[in-house]
Amino acid sequence: MEREIVTEHPLVDNQTAVFPAAPDALVTDRSYRIRELVPVATCIGLGIGVLVFAQDINSQVGVELGPAFWPSMLGYSLIVFGALLVFVNVLRGVRPADIPDRLNGWGVSRFCATAVLLVGYVLLWNVLQFWLITLVVSLALTALYGARGWKALLAFPALVSVILHVLFVLVLRVPL
Amino acid sequence: MINIVASPVTDGILAVLQPDTLIYIVLGICIGMLVGAFPGVTATMAIALASGFTLTLEPTQGLAVLLTIYVAAQFGDRVPAILLNTPGTPSSISTTFDGYPLALQGKAGLALTTSAFGSAVGMIFGIAILAIAAVPLSAFAMQFGPPEMFALVVFGLTMMVGVSSGRIIKGLAAGAFGLVLSAAGRDPITGDPRFTFGILELNGGIPFIAVIIGFFGVAEVLNQIITRHKQHHAKPVTQMGQWMPDARLLRRLAKPMGIGAVTGSVVGLVPAVGGDIAGIIAWDNAKRASKRKDEFGKGSFEGLTAGDTASTATLGGSVATTMALGVPGDSVMAVMIGSMMIWGIQPGPALFSTHPDLISSLVTIMLIATVLTLVLSLLRMRGMVKLLELPSRYLWVIILIFCMVGTYSVSNSIFDVFTMMIASLVGLFMLRFGFPAGPAVLGLILGPLAESNLRRALIIDGWASIFTSPIAVVLLLIALGALILPPLRGLVQRRKNASKGSDLPSMVP
C-alpha cells in the first residue's frame, strides 16, 4: 500500500514523499548495534536482580504458588526478552526510528543543573515560603533555558508562582 | 438499551450539570485546547500532569477535567498540524497530509473549521458507541472468571505492545518491567511484603501516579532539554482566508465524514489502537472512495475531514473498552485508570453495576465538552497563532514545576516526589533506548489484577483452567496474533520488495 503525499515535514526533505513507507531498512552500523547491548544488559540484569530478590521473599502462609511465583516468572521473562534483543537488535540492526536525537554537551549541563535545582526546590518547600521558592526556581530555570529580558525573567516566574500558590495552596489546600 | 427514565441515568446527567462540574469542564477545555496546540505536549502528558491536582476533587469533577482535556486536545492538535505542518499530538498526523497544503493555498481558515466540524462529528459518533456498547460489553465481561480476566490483561498488554509501538521485544520487556514494579508491596493473596527493602512507604506498593507523571511528563521534557540544540521555530501560516465553509462544501464532506466515523468507531473498540492509526486508515479509505483522488495529499478537504473524523471517533470506543473491561484503550486511558483507582472507582466488568450512573455522566461530560470545544474552535482566534510561536522553554518550566507540586499534592508525600524523579530518570532511559512507556504503565496498573487472577486460575485447575476456557483461548490467540503478525507482515513485505527489486532493470552499466 503506497501512496504519494505532499508534505513539508522536517524529517522529509523533498516535497513528495511515499507514505506509508515500505518497512524501514535496518541501520546496521556497528556503533548502533553495540549501543543496543545496553538494553540487553538492562533486561538481563534486571531479570537476575528480580530472581535474586525473589529468593528472599518469606511467606508466613504456606500456600501453593506463593508470593515469589509471579516475580520469579517475570524475572525469567526479562532474561528471555534480553536474550531475544540480542538476536533482534544487536545481530540484525536497529530501525532508524529507534535512533534517538544526539545528545549535546550544553543539553547535558542543562539537565544536571535542572536536577540540582529541582532537588533543592523539593527540599526547601518546608523551609521557605512556597511562593517565594517557586518564584526563585522558575526564574532560575527560565534563565537556564535561555530566556532573557524582564518579561521572561520576572513576569513569567511571578505568574507561575501566583498560579501555583492560588491553585495548590489556596484552592486545593495542599500543605506546602 | 439504556432506559432514560431510570434514575441512575438522570443521576449521572444531573451530577455533571452541577455548576462546579461545568466550571471544571470549561477549565478542562481550555487546558486541552492549549495542550493540543503545543507540539511536544501530548494529551497523555497533560492528563498525567492534571491527575496530580484532580485527585483531591470529587470523582465526577475529576473525570470532567480529565475527559475534557482529552476531548479538547483532539481539537487543539489540529491547529499546529494545519498551520505548522507539525501534529500537536499523534492523533493529528493525518491532518498534516492535507491540512498544511490547504493552508499553503490560503485556505487555512476553511481547513481549521472543516477539521473542527469533522472532529465534532467523529466525537459524537464515538460517544454514541460508548453509550450503546459499554453496558453490553461489561455485561458480557461479567461472565469472566480468573482465567478470562488473566487472558484479558495479557490481551490488553500485548495489543498495546504489538499495535502501537512497533518495537515488540522492547515493548514486552517494558510491560514485564511494569509488572515487576507492581509486585512491590504486599502480595495480593497472602499479604506478605515483597521488594519493600524495609521502606515503610513501599508497603502500599509503588505510587503509580508518581510513576505515570515521571514517565509521561518529566521524562519527555528532560529528553527535549538534553537534545535541543537551539531554539528554532517554523513560522506558522497566518493568512486564514475564508473562515466558515458554505453548504455546498459541507454536503461534499458528508461522505468522507461518514467513512471516518465508521472507521474510527471500529478501530476505537480495539484496545490500544489510537486515533493516529484510525486517522491514517480513514484517510486511505476516503481516498479510495473519492472521485477526486488526485487532490489527496495536495490539499483535499475530504482527506482532511475523513482523517480527523476517524481519529476523534476512536475516543468513545476507547473509553468504552477501558471502563467496561478495565483494559485501557490507549495510554491516555491507562493514566485515567490510575486516577480512577485513587478515587475508589475500579474500571472493569463490575463498574457499571457498582456505579450505574457513571455511563450517563461520561456521555454527558463528553457531549458538553464536544459542543463547547466546537464553538471555541469556530471562533476566529488570532491568539492561537501567536501561541504557536511561544518558545518551548516556558513550557518546560511550567511542566517541570507542575509535575513536582502535582505529585506532592496526591498524598502530601515527599517520598512520592522522589519516586516521580526516579521514574522520570527511568523514563528518560526508556525513551533514549526505545522502550515504550505505555506497556510499562499498563503493567504497573494491571499487575495485581493479572497476578491474582493467574494464581487463582492455576490453583483451581492448573494451566488447563486457562486453556479450556474458550474466551481465554480466543483472547490469548488474538494477543499472540498481535505480537506475531506485524513482524511476519514486515518480513513478507521486505521479501516482496527484494524480489521486485531484482526484477527491475539495473541502472548500473
**Measured on CA atoms in the order B445, B449, B452, B457, is the torsion positive or negative?**
negative
Interface contact A110, partner B, CB < 8 A: yes
Mean pLDDT score, B47-61: 82
Beta-carbon contacts below 8 Å between A and B: 200
Task: Give strand ranges (E) for B19-126.
Answer: none
Mean pLDDT score, B232-244: 73
pLDDT at A10: 35
**Among chain A residues, CA nearest to B93:** A9
All three cell numbers of A130: 512556597
| Contact flag B397-A134 (C-beta cutoff 8 Å) | no
Q: What is the largest CA-CA distance in chain A?
A: 68
pLDDT at A19: 40
Residue A2, pLDDT > 70, answer: no
What is chain B's mean pLDDT, rounded? 84
pLDDT at A9: 35
Nearest beta carbon to residue A122 from set B189, B404, B493: B404
Q: What is the DSSP letter of B8?
A: H
Nearest beta carbon to residue B85 from set A9, A53, A172: A9
pLDDT at B380: 67
Most confident of A97-101, A155-159, B459-463, B490-494: A155-159
- A86 CB-near residues (< 8 Å, 6+ apart): A40
All three cell numbers of A95: 530501525
Among B57-61, B197-201, B384-388, the minimum mean pLDDT is found in B384-388
**Phi-psi region at B89: left, alpha or beta (left = phi > 0; alpha = psi -120 to 50):** beta
**Among chain B residues, CA nearest to A11:** B86
Q: How far is B169 from chain A (nearest CA, A)?
A: 6
Q: Measured between beta carbons, which residues in chain A are less than 8 angstroms from residue B401?
A: 121, 134, 137-138, 141, 160, 164
Interface contact A131, partner B, CB < 8 A: no
Cα B328–chain centre separation: 8
Q: How far is B176 from chain A (nearest CA, A)?
A: 6
Q: What is the DSSP string of B299-365?
A: S-HHHHHHHHHHHHHHHHHHHHHHHHHS--SSHHHHHHHHHHHHTT---STTHHHH-TTHHHHHHHH
Distances (CA, A) of B110 to B250, B380, B477: 11, 11, 46
Nearest beta carbon to residue A118 from set B170, B195, B421: B421
On whether the CB atoms of residues B355 and B60 are closer than 8 A, the answer is no
Cα B55–chain centre separation: 19
pLDDT at B381: 65
Mean pLDDT score, A25-48: 89
Instruction: Give tens-digit pLDDT for B175-186.
Output: 999 999 999 998
pLDDT at A63: 64
C-alpha span between B2 and A160 (Å, rounded)? 45
pLDDT at A24: 55
Question: pLDDT band for position B257 (50/70/90)?
Answer: very high
Mean pLDDT score, B315-339: 82
Q: Measured between beta carbons, which residues in chain B are less than 8 angstroms from residue A109?
A: none
Residue A105, pLDDT > 60, answer: yes
Residue B121, pLDDT > 90, answer: yes
Q: How far is B27 from chain A (nearest CA, A)?
A: 12
How long a stretch of residues is chain A?
A: 176
- B350 CB-near residues (< 8 Å, 6+ apart): B138, B142
Nearest beta carbon to residue A138 from set B401, B414, B455: B401
C-alpha span between B111 and B105 (Å, rounded)? 10
**Phi-psi region at B439: left, alpha or beta (left = phi > 0; alpha = psi -120 to 50):** alpha
**Measured on CA atoms in the order B35, B38, B43, B49, is the torsion positive or negative?**
negative
Pick the residue with more confidence: B192 or B428? Answer: B428
Which of B224, B33, B148, B509 minimizes the C-alpha distance to A146? B224
Q: How far is B422 from chain A (nearest CA, A)?
A: 11
Q: Is A6 helix (H, G, I), strand (E, B) or coil?
A: strand
Mean pLDDT score, B246-261: 91
How long a stretch of residues is chain B?
A: 509
pLDDT at B25: 93
- B331 CB-near residues (< 8 Å, 6+ apart): B44, B160, B164, B216, B274, B437, B438, B441
| Contact flag A70-B412 (C-beta cutoff 8 Å) | no
Nearest beta carbon to residue A74 from set B179, B421, B432: B179
Question: pLDDT band for position B149 (50/70/90)?
Answer: confident
All three cell numbers of B265: 468507531
Instruction: Give tens-digit pLDDT for A112-142.
Output: 999 999 999 999 988 889 999 999 999 999 9
Mean pLDDT score, B465-490: 85
Most confident of A126-130, B198-202, B270-274, B422-426: B422-426
pLDDT at B154: 87
On whether the CB atoms of residues B117 and B399 are closer than 8 A, the answer is no
Mean pLDDT score, A35-52: 95
Residue A7, pLDDT > 70, answer: no
Instruction: Give tens-digit pLDDT for A163-172.
Output: 889 888 887 7
Q: What is the DSSP letter of B116?
A: H
Residue B309, pLDDT > 90, answer: yes
pLDDT at B504: 42
Q: What is the DSSP string of A65-79?
A: S-TTHHHHHHHHHHH
